[in-house]
Each structure stands twice: as structure tokens, then as C-alpha cells.
Structure 1
Amino acid sequence: MDTSRLKRFAQYARRYLREQVTTKLGVVLAENSAARRENTEAIHKLTENIEVSGKEQVIEQVAYTWFNRFCALRFMDSNRYTSIGVISPAEGQFQPEILAEAKMGHIDEDMVSAQIQGQIFDLLSGTAPSPDAQGEAYRLLIVAVCNYYYEVMRYLFERIDDYTELLMPDDLLSGNSILAYTREAMTPENCQSVEVIGWLYQFYISEKKDEVFAALKKNKKITSENIPAATQLFTPNWIVRYLVENSLGRLWMLNRPQSRLFEQMDYYIKSEDDPPQPPFKRGESDQEYLKISSPEELKICDPACGSGHILVYAFELLYAIYEEEGYAANEIPKKILTHNLYGIEIDERAGSLAAFALTMKAREKYRRFFRKPIQPIQPNICVLKKVEFEEWEVGSGKWEVDNKKLGVSHDYLLHDLHLFEEADNFGALLRPKMSEEQIANLRDYFANLWAKNPNPSLFEHKTHEKVTNI
């Protein structure tokens, strides 16, 4: 993998996208802008977010959102996970395949609604006047594709009906566009492994990381929004394999002495207590270990998962385990994402990439994985967010519960509610006082309690949302 090319691209992309978003921000927020007339709700959300988070944070967020989506779509194009090239042109062509097909009158009806198709055809035929008809049509296609993939990747392709669309870069089709540079950096060779997404993220925030540490030398405190940039580190492949093979792999070998899994674990180290030569025989080791009766019982959690490098390799090893146990190939990806892999992260961007990487592994193993199921399978990646409660929300009498029935101390409950005020700082280091069972019981308790009041006041509704997020 050509990481030097990826680094140059990712650092350039951050600067370029920030400039583009900053320019678009000035245009859409102008006093008499078309956006203010035609997208009043989106403008309201935008100004509200700027007031809460600050202009710089909004610019950073939107720039990265589009970087994330463009890279994800290019990766899927390169591996033919998309039905048509969204970022990539067909062989021998220059424009993205999806636009070239639209110009010939072909648009996927499942991907693009009839209304949007009409707008696109009007632009391309000249019926709808536009100074940049093809560019505008292509932006509509990009938005439609992102909304289409929302069903299977909600963490990455949120429905675009807000200011994110308004702040999309204008130039997406020229030889100097961000997409041209994306294709140049994310070559088919670089996209052979989903690991490329993790490298791109690390390089994208590398300049921000340098800025944070330069400020630290000037005695400027690292704020919570800068912690991800300051602490992000992409774990080398050999370390990932060593960790996974000597934890997950070892546990499986102890439970399945006849397994041949060790043959694909190059970094697996036998313990002195192990039998002299694998395959092991049950009972030959005096070690105490967790007894596993089926692959579904294996649970792997990365408490600071970043872009998911460790979880991705764990997926590979788990797939081999399921195969060895005789599971059907089309069932294995779903079982792994449902039962085996868990990640915790404080950076929403990294958490989205971890979920995306696992979804790509599932698609790699099962080509029909993107077929829309009744309930889409979402990877178990938990992004911890700061949750603050006002005094009136947790004051006396607000959280009285049936202590005898639930076995929960009122003091423990309040402690754990306030604990998440530091979630974006401490992440997986948070230590609730309530047990997992008590927390589960409380969730059910409050869900039933609130179900009896289907029309809470605005303030009560916001409190309910906070508790649910915890």
C-alpha cells in the first residue's frame, strides 16, 4: 500500500475541503441567499449548530463528512460493491459512470427517486436552466446514492436533507476536483484492503494533531474535541495480528484442541503450559480458561477501537472459526456482526469508519450483504457522547424507582447518570456503579414507564432521549 501517496492526498483534502466549505458557508448564510429562501429549515439547523459548536467546528465536521463519504464510495467502487461507479468512471471514460449513464437516460430506479430523476433529466436536457447543469445533476446523484446506502450504513450515510448538502463542494467533475484526487490516491491496489480507510483517517487528522501538540507546548490545554486528534494512532498490522491471535485465537485453540486454526496464525505464541505439539488434546493443559461451546459465545471488545483495525482482523479469524465449525457462508457475516464484535470510541468519525470497515468485510465475504433486509445489520460500535443533566431533571423525586424489584440504589443511579458528563473525555475508562443486569433492567423499566405517557412535554422528551442515549 502506497501510504505516502495516501498521506499527501488526505492532508491536501482536509485543507481543500475546509476552504470549500468555508466559501459555501459564506454564500448560503448571506442575507439574501437562495438557500435562505429555499432551505429555511436547513439554514436554521446550520445557524443553531454554529451557535452551539462554533463556526470552526461546523466547518471541520462538514469537511470531514464529505471526505468520509467520498472515500467510502471510492472504496466500494474499486471493489465493485456498488452496482455502478459513483465516484469512478467506466474503463476508458473520464466522468463518473453514474453520470455518464444518466446522460444516456439510464438511472437506477431503486437508487434514485422518480422526483430526483426528473430533476436530473431536466438539467441534462437543458429544460431546467443552470450555469453548471452536469455538476448540479451529479450532486443530485451523489446525494441520492448517500441516502440509498443509509439503510445499510446509517452511521456513515445519514440521510442528506440538511445543511450538509448545502455545503457540498461545487467542483466534483474537473481534473482538479477533490474526486479526481481521490481516484488518483485510492488506486485499485490501495483499495484491496479496507485498512486503507484507517490510514486515510490517520493522515487526514495528522496536521490537526500537530496543531494540538504545538499548542500544548504553549501551555494550551487539550480540549475534549481535540482529544481524538491527539490520541489517534493507527496500530501496525503485525501488532494487531499478535494481539488477536494470542487472545481470540488462543481461546479457541484451548476450547477446540483439534482445530487447525493455528496454521493461519503466524504470530501465535505457544505458552509453556501448552502441550508440546498442536493440535492440542483436551485436558492436556492445566490452565484455567473460559469454556466456549460455540463461536457465537466468543465476544471481542476493543474499548478504544479507532477505525477498527483490530476488529477487522478479528472478523477474519472469526470467519475461519465459523467455517471450521461448518456454518453456511451466507450466515457467517451476520453472526459475526451480531454476536461477536464490539467497539467503543469517543470520536464519532473514527467510530463510523470502524463500522464501515466491518461492513466492508461482511460484503467481501457475502456479495448479497447489501441487499436490503427487513432489519439492516449495524455493527456493534458504540460512540460515547457527553450527556449532561440539569438539576431539575435529576432532582429529588425525579428518578424514584422500585429499588426492591430492580435492586438498584438511587445513589448509584444518579452517580451513573452524571458519569456520562465526562464520556467524551474518559471514554471506556468510565466505571458505572450499577451492574450490566441492573442497567438492562432499568432500561426496560423506564421504557415501560414512558410508554404509559406517549405525549410527554418537550422538556420531558429531551430528558428521555438523554437517558436512552446512556
Structure 2
Amino acid sequence: MKLAEHVEHIRQIIDQAFRNTLGRMGITATVLQPLENLSQQFHLDRIRIEDVFENFAAETGSVADAYEKLVEELTFTLFNRLAALKVMEAHGLNSPILTRSSQHGDRSFAHFLWLEQNPEGRNEEQEGLLPFIEEQLNTLSADIPLFSPQYPYHLLPTAIELRDIIDAFNAVEKDEQVEADIWKSDDVLGWLYESYNNYKKAAHKESKAKTEYNKVSIQSQVYTPGWVVKFLVDNSLGKLYLEMFPDSTIKEKYKIANAPAKPNRERKPLTEIRLIDIIMQSLIQFNYPKSYCAQGCAEI
């Protein structure tokens, strides 16, 4: 499968897992079951998630729409968390939490260590996968709030469902149709989120509905690769500089089309240049002051 197909597969299984979980908590698209009708194990999560659900119902004016929005937020949050963990693992920022290896008994290294410290977990479902993941998220939340158990959309499906979701994430790097070392790629998060929204684009197109202001992002949300961003910045900010200083050596460092041979713009201090940053990666523009000052900051 291509990366976009993996993303859609993962999104679907997370979506279904949360529909199952909400059902067990007495939350459906049509009704909220009384709390006393539920197993005690679901009470705390139900009370917390019901608050979110009621806010969505007030916002959308519909129980059915609130339910769909809740599923969407829960799904996107878990997708975000697990994708972030895969990227962090690939870059060596933490021990593998999701990526399993045969040398650790088909467990991740972190899970293997956790079981050494919590041997009772071996007798739990999927060897204590849920408490293990909860503990890892809680530890990481000290630096990254997205992982916090207090995050509004914090919820995990059953251990078996979570195992299937993790398996789906781990299948990505094993697929020959996917770029090698995909999780190390600078572009992977951009491609993931563009692919994640494909189902919304397809649904909107199928509906043949007019693209209202609140739907524009669905149609226009396209990831811009780093090389494209660099080209755009080189040929806007870089060219502007050459129009003031055509003899600058930056024309040798950056690929700037039709570099001017003589000044055709009034010199302007760098501090007076105003930028509209419409592309996430265009922070690359801040590489330029270093190049300018290499020639002597007196020019700018």
C-alpha cells in the first residue's frame, strides 16, 4: 500500500475502535445511557467524556453531530500521539515504545523493560499494553502536553484494538511501496496529515455541495514539500535582496532565477522587511540574515 492508503486504514480502525469504546460507555449517535446502567470500570471516563460530548452537542445543536465530532477528535488525537511516537523513536529521542523487535519477544524495548519492572503485567490483556501505554504517555506529557492524561480527548480503546492500531503503524515502514526510513523523513508528518484528510475531501466532493467558508480548508489543505518552500523563499526574499545588492554572493549559494545584474530596488534595512508567512516551513527565511551578515551587516 502507498502511505496515503496506510493512513486511511489506520484512521478507519481507530475510528471504529472509538465507536466501540463509546458504545461500551453508553454513548451513541442517538442516546446517552444512564451512568448507573454501565459497568463501574467505565464511570470515570464516561463522566469526563460526557462533558466533552455535551459541549459538542451545544456547539452543533445535534446529538448525532456531537457524536461524530467526538469520534473525530478522539481518532485524530490517538493518530497524532502514535504518529509522534513513531517519529520520535526513529530519531532516537526515546526508547521504542511502539516499534517491536524479535529480540525482545515481539515487544517494544520499552514494553520489555516495563514488564521486567511490572511482572504482573504478563498476566494482563496483551501483557499489560494499556497500563504500559498510559504510563509512557504520562511520562512524556511532562514535556509534550499532547500526551497528557488530562488532555480533553485522552482515551484509549481496548488492549486488543490498541494492539491492532499499533500493528498498523508498524506495518508502514515494512511496506516496500513506502519510502525507506519513512519515519525519519522531514516530510512524513506533512504527508500524514494531508493523507489523513483525504476522506473529508472525498466526502465533500461526493456530496456535490458548495464549498462554504468553513469547508475551504478541506479542499485547500495540501502539504508543501521542503524543496518547494525553499524555492519560493529563495526567489522572493533572496531575489529581493539581490535587487538591492546584485553583487552579493548569495546568488551562488541559492538557486535564484533571473538574478539581476544591477540594482533595481532602493536599499532597505533588513529590520524593515515585512514577511507574510503563509507556509509552515517558510521559517527557512530566517536562514538569510546569517548569509547577509557573512558579507558584512553594514549592508543591511
TM-score bracket, normalised by the shorter chain, equals 0.7 to 0.9
Contact 1:17 1:169 (8 Å CA) reproduced:
no
For 2:141, the aligned partner's letter is N
For 1:301, the aligned partner's letter is I
Pair 1:124 & 2:135 matched: no
Secondary structure of the residue aligned to 2:153 is helix
Distance 1:140 1:69 in 2: 12
Which one of 286, 289, 293 corresponds to residue 318 of structure 1? 286
For 1:9, the aligned partner's letter is H
Instruction: Decide whether aligned partners of structure 1 residues 300 and 98 sit closer, same or farther in structure 2, where only a CA change above 3 A counts.
Output: farther
Instruction: Decide whether aligned partners of structure 1 residues 133 and 215 sit closer, same or farther in structure 2, where only a CA change above 3 A counts.
Output: same
Query: Superposed, which structure 2 residues align to 1:165-314 within 5 Å?
Result: 165-168=154-157, 170-171=159-160, 174=163, 177-186=164-173, 189-216=181-208, 220-222=209-211, 226-235=215-224, 239-253=228-242, 260-266=249-255, 268-271=256-259, 274-275=260-261, 284-288=262-266, 290-292=268-270, 300-303=275-278, 305=279, 308=280, 310-311=281-282, 314=283
Distance 1:20 1:55 in 2: 14
1:45 is matched with 51
Which one of 5, 8, 12 corresponds to residue 11 of structure 1? 8
Contact 1:205 1:229 (8 Å CA) reproduced:
yes
Post-superposition Cα deviations, 1:167-223, rounded to whole Å, max 9, x if no partner, equal 44633664xx2222212324662233321111111111112201101112xxx3445
Distance 1:298 1:87 in 2: 45
Which one of 70, 83, 86 corresponds to residue 82 of structure 2? 70
Post-superposition Cα deviations, 1:268-310, rounded to whole Å, max 9, x if no partner, equal 1134xx22xxxxxxxx5131354216xxx7664333x4xx3x4
Instruction: Decide whether aligned partners of structure 1 residues 265 and 207 sit closer, same or farther in structure 2, where only a CA change above 3 A counts.
Output: same
After TM superposition, give the deviation of residue 166 of structure 1 in Å: 2.9
Instruction: Decide whether aligned partners of structure 1 residues 182 and 270 sit closer, same or farther in structure 2, where only a CA change above 3 A counts.
Output: same
For 2:87, the aligned partner's letter is F
After TM superposition, give the deviation of residue 324 of structure 1 in Å: 7.2
For 1:98, the aligned partner's letter is A
Post-superposition Cα deviations, 1:66-99, rounded to whole Å, max 9, x if no partner, equal 11121111011111122x1222236844322211
Contact 1:85 1:98 (8 Å CA) reproduced:
yes
Contact 2:242 2:263 (8 Å CA) reproduced:
no
After TM superposition, give the deviation of residue 49 of structure 1 in Å: 3.3
Post-superposition Cα deviations, 1:307-326, rounded to whole Å, max 9, x if no partner, equal x3x43xx43x6347537747
Q: Which structure dedicates a bigger proportion of its chain to helix? A: 2
What are structure 1's unaligned runs of at least 5 residues? 106-120, 276-283, 327-470
Post-superposition Cα deviations, 1:377-419, rounded to whole Å, max 9, x if no partner, equal xxxxxxxxxxxxxxxxxxxxxxxxxxxxxxxxxxxxxxxxxxx
RMSD, aligned CA: 3.2
Distance 1:172 1:254 in 2: 59
Distance 2:234 2:168 in 1: 37
Which one of 10, 20, 40 corresponds to residue 34 of structure 1? 40
Distance 1:47 1:70 in 2: 23
Instruction: Decide whether aligned partners of structure 1 residues 138 and 50 sit closer, same or farther in structure 2, where only a CA change above 3 A counts.
Output: same
Query: Superposed, which structure 2 residues align to 1:287-436 within 5 Å?
Result: 287-288=265-266, 290-292=268-270, 300-303=275-278, 305=279, 308=280, 310-311=281-282, 314-315=283-284, 318-319=286-287, 321-322=289-290, 325=293
Q: Which moved more, 1:203-212 or 1:47-56?
A: 47-56
For 1:62, the aligned partner's letter is L
Instruction: Decide whether aligned partners of structure 1 residues 96 and 322 sit closer, same or farther in structure 2, where only a CA change above 3 A counts.
Output: farther
Q: Give the structure-2-normalised TM-score.
A: 0.75
Instruction: Decide whether aligned partners of structure 1 residues 142 and 37 sit closer, same or farther in structure 2, where only a CA change above 3 A counts.
Output: same
Contact 1:95 1:173 (8 Å CA) reproduced:
no
After TM superposition, give the deviation of residue 145 of structure 1 in Å: 4.2
Identity in percent: 18
Which one of 81, 87, 90 corresponds to residue 98 of structure 2? 87
1:59 is matched with 71
For 2:277, the aligned partner's letter is D
Instruction: Decide whether aligned partners of structure 1 residues 36 and 149 sit closer, same or farther in structure 2, where only a CA change above 3 A counts.
Output: same
Distance 1:74 1:56 in 2: 27
Secondary structure of the residue aligned to 2:38 is coil
Distance 1:35 1:301 in 2: 51
After TM superposition, give the deviation of residue 39 of structure 1 in Å: 3.8
2:111 is matched with 99
1:429 is matched with none
Distance 2:38 2:136 in 1: 27
Instruction: Decide whether aligned partners of structure 1 residues 270 and 70 sit closer, same or farther in structure 2, where only a CA change above 3 A counts.
Output: same
Secondary structure of the residue aligned to 1:59 is helix
Higher-RCO chain (CA-CA 8 Å, sequence separation at least 6): 2
Contact 1:45 1:163 (8 Å CA) reproduced:
no
| Matched residues, number | 273
For 2:218, the aligned partner's letter is A
For 1:67, the aligned partner's letter is F
